[in-house]
Amino acid sequence: MASDDPLVRLMVLCRRQNWSLRKYELALRRYYSRNMHAVSLSTIRSWIRWHVKDVRWERRKERQAKHECAQRKLQQAIARGTVKKPSRCEHCQKRTIKRELHGHHRDYRYPLRASWLCPSCHVKAHGKRAMKRAALRARRREVGKRFHKTEEKLRQRRKTGDISRRRYYKLRREALSKFWTVMAGEKA
């Protein structure tokens, strides 16, 4: 495609603005109603969607690289003794084991400026989304433990000859289905 092609100009604009597909779908339809080409609209849409996703992926990778670099520099400074790790959380002042404290960066440009937080305060520092994620993980662990206890009891009953093999697998399937309904957020 030529650089003076309106579609290419539209692509460049969309990539710069990081627009969602809905914003420029109308412009694409206008362009293709005037210029009928062999390429279908769905093909062009998927192509643009891929480019937008690619830009977002690049930005995410850059943020992740900055984060990892700051963490690595902080760990090296601790190992050298340049930075001292406190024994208390800076937010709640709870006394914890040093290895359990997390270095929280507000700005990755300054890797040695980290506030030392306990795991719960660190999750809170990252916001509501991180708190929801942490709560979900805790719930998964709890439900998983319950499922494994139930499974272990069934195994014991099977070993002692209390239940048949067929009954064991049926009860295990029921326990597993309850596990997945709870994991899906439904009440079992």
Is 145 a residue whose pLDDT tops 90? no
- Condensed to tens digits (0 to 9), the pLDDT of residues 4-22 reads 666 666 667 776 776 665 6
- Condensed to tens digits (0 to 9), the pLDDT of residues 46-87 reads 766 666 677 777 888 888 899 899 999 999 999 999 998 888
Residues 41-47: what's their mean pLDDT?
67
Is 40 a residue whose pLDDT tops 80? no
Decide if 96 contacts 87 (C-beta within 8 A): yes
Distance of CA 139 to the CA centre of its chain: 17
Output the pLDDT for position 1: 43
- Condensed to tens digits (0 to 9), the pLDDT of residues 146-163 reads 888 888 999 999 899 888
Of the spans 95-104, 138-147, 165-174, which averages the highest pLDDT?
A: 165-174
Higher pLDDT, 30 or 173: 173
Percent of the chain with pLDDT over 70: 71
Separation of alpha carbons 30 and 68, rounded Å: 45
- Condensed to tens digits (0 to 9), the pLDDT of residues 78-121 reads 999 999 888 888 888 888 777 788 888 888 889 998 989 888 88
What is the pTM (predicted TM-score) of this model? 0.48
**String of b and e for 170-185 (b: at least 16 CB within 10 Å)?**
ebbeebeebbeebeee
Is 3 a residue whose pLDDT tops 60? no
